[in-house]
Amino acid sequence: MGLTIVSIIFAAIMNNSSKISFEDTSVAFSYKSDSALKKAHLIFSLVNHPWISSLATSSVKFALKVGLPVEGIIKRTVFDHFCGGISIDNCDDEITALSQYGVGTILDYSVEGEKSEKGFDQVMEETMLTIEKAAKAPDSIPFSVFKVTGLASAEILEKIQRKDTLTAEEQKAFDRIRKRVDTICQKAYSHNVRILIDAEETWIQEPIDDLAYEMMRKYNTKSTIVFNTYQLYRTASLQNLRDAFQQALSGKYFLGGKLVRGAYMEKERERAEKKGYSSPIHKDKESTDNAFNEALTFCMENRERIAIMCGSHNEYSNHYLTVLMEKYGLPNNDSRFWFAQLYGMSDNISFNLAKAGYKVAKYVPYGPVKSVMPYLFRRAAENTSVAGQSSRELTLIRKELKRRRENRN
């Protein structure tokens, strides 16, 4: 009942104010050539079918495992659609193309599953390169980003969260993790580049949060450099955000928040069921949506000390933030309110927002094809299992292909 009333109020606000529309596909796909658009059409048509998507995913996993030469085809199709390139310099064309339309790039070194200290150091070094590159082009690369599990063993993070006693070796390893995080954030601070810390699974998130707040206390005293991520599909997140704000108030630093719904829902629910604890995820989509929109409102009301990124492909939430900005009399380009989507998805949101003058950026993943595969598998699953998402992409791509055909005639 309460939720319905909230939805009605939202709907009334939306109808009465903001003028942004995400329907203009000529704006959305202006940076895509006809052939790139046709390729996108093929990819989204395929992943839209659950059985094709799952067959393709398992075939690729098998082919990579036994060493079949599939990297070339992956590179020319899904990789090119969702990623910037195999190395940082390989992403230059994408950075330029996006920035021509006022859309920033967030270079996301997406190599996952590193397990060695050498691998963790290498991820840290690569993240530092993204900061250096961002510092040289702050308008086209407005943020850097990293995942703590790129720098740390998930086992140690889990042990810390369980409050198990660490062995002397593990304690040393954790000291190195903290040092890596600090080295990155210090570099971001000294180069004046905002840095996002991604959120991960609930069973390792507490030490990630603790590290993020430690960094904010150090580097967010003058402006918002370090951003932690809040997954609003978690029942605890709204309160965590409020608590983080109170801590920032009393600690006299700025709170940086990336708001997302959350990417690991199935995994979270399965684990909770298997281990017999209650799921940390909201009971349904509507509750997650309400929490997300409430978090936007909270951040808006406390904007004197908060800067946020609305990391979402949800049209309603992106629209709602523009409505809030208008309601509170903020200019579209207020630098405390950022919108972000993933490269290869929801261009209708990114490009129409950028055209209207809002601060917008895209996560652009990069790295060797094989290492980026877990990221690509997640995109395939997301575009298959999230109701409506893939068909929305497909509808828009089809609409634009049709519009271009008609224009030529």
Ligand X SMILES: Cc1cc2nc3c(=O)[nH]c(=O)nc-3n(C[C@H](O)[C@H](O)[C@H](O)COP(=O)(O)OP(=O)(O)OC[C@H]3O[C@@H](n4cnc5c(N)ncnc54)[C@H](O)[C@@H]3O)c2cc1C
Q: Is there a contact between 51 and 375 (Cβ–Cβ < 8 Å)?
A: no
Among the listed residues 94, 114, 126, 198, the single contact to ligand X using CB under 6 A: 198
Other beta carbons within 10 angstroms of residue 252's beta carbon come to 10
Q: Is there a contact between 216 and 176 (Cβ–Cβ < 8 Å)?
A: no
DSSP string, 350-407: HHHHHHTT-EEEEEEEES-HHHHHHHHHHHHHHHHHSTTHHHHHHHHHHHHHHHHHHH
Of the pair 182, 382, the CB lying nearest ligand X is at: 382
Q: Alpha-carbon distance 211 to 216, whole Å?
A: 9
Among the listed residues 314, 332, 371, 395, the single contact to ligand X using CB under 6 A: 314
Amino acid letter at 328?
Answer: Y
Give the interface segment with ligand X, choosing from 134-142, 185-193, 213-221, 335-343 (CB under 6 A).
Answer: 335-343
Among the listed residues 266, 270, 284, 301, the single contact to ligand X using CB under 6 A: 284
Give the interface segment with ligand X, choosing from 13-21, 23-31, 65-73, 338-346 (CB under 6 A).
Answer: 338-346
CB 88 → ligand X: shortest distance, Å? 19
Of the pair 54, 385, the CB lying nearest ligand X is at: 385
Q: Is 313 in the site for ligand X (CB under 6 A)?
A: yes
Among the listed residues 386, 395, 399, 404, the single contact to ligand X using CB under 6 A: 386
DSSP label of 263:
S
Contact mark string toward ligand X, 208..237, x via CB under 6 A: ---------------------x-x-x----
Q: Alpha-carbon distance 160 to 182, whole Å?
A: 18
Cα 53 to the center of its chain, rounded Å? 22
Of the pair 167, 360, the CB lying nearest ligand X is at: 360
Q: Alpha-carbon distance 369 to 374, whole Å?
A: 10
- Spell out where 148-189 has E strands: none
Q: Is there a contact between 30 and 363 (Cβ–Cβ < 8 Å)?
A: no
Q: Is 307 in the site for ligand X (CB under 6 A)?
A: no
Q: Is 311 in the site for ligand X (CB under 6 A)?
A: yes
- Number of residues in contact with ligand X, rule: CB under 6 A? 26
Among the listed residues 46, 342, 349, 380, the single contact to ligand X using CB under 6 A: 342
Q: Is 240 in the site for ligand X (CB under 6 A)?
A: no
Q: CA angle, 326 as apex, 325 and 329 as ends, to 5°?
A: 90
Q: Is 290 in the site for ligand X (CB under 6 A)?
A: no
Decide the pairing of beta strands 143-146 and 306-311: unpaired
Of the pair 175, 270, the CB lying nearest ligand X is at: 270
Q: Is 285 in the site for ligand X (CB under 6 A)?
A: yes
Of the pair 114, 268, the CB lying nearest ligand X is at: 268
Among the listed residues 63, 263, 330, 401, the single contact to ligand X using CB under 6 A: 263
CB 112 → ligand X: shortest distance, Å? 13
Q: Is there a contact between 82 and 365 (Cβ–Cβ < 8 Å)?
A: yes
Q: Alpha-carbon distance 190 to 196, whole Å?
A: 15
Q: Is 340 in the site for ligand X (CB under 6 A)?
A: yes
To the nearest 10°, report the CA torsion of 332, 28, 374, 381: 110
Q: Is there a contact between 20 and 354 (Cβ–Cβ < 8 Å)?
A: no
Place of tokens 């990417």: 263
Contact mark string toward ligand X, 11..50, x via CB under 6 A: ----------------------------------------
CB 229 → ligand X: shortest distance, Å? 4
CB 308 → ligand X: shortest distance, Å? 12
Contact mark string toward ligand X, 357..376, x via CB under 6 A: ------x-------------
Decide the pairing of beta strands 226-231 and 103-109: unpaired
Residues of this chain that interact with ligand X (CB under 6 A) are: 198-199, 229, 231, 233, 260-265, 281-282, 284-285, 288, 311-314, 340-342, 363, 386, 389
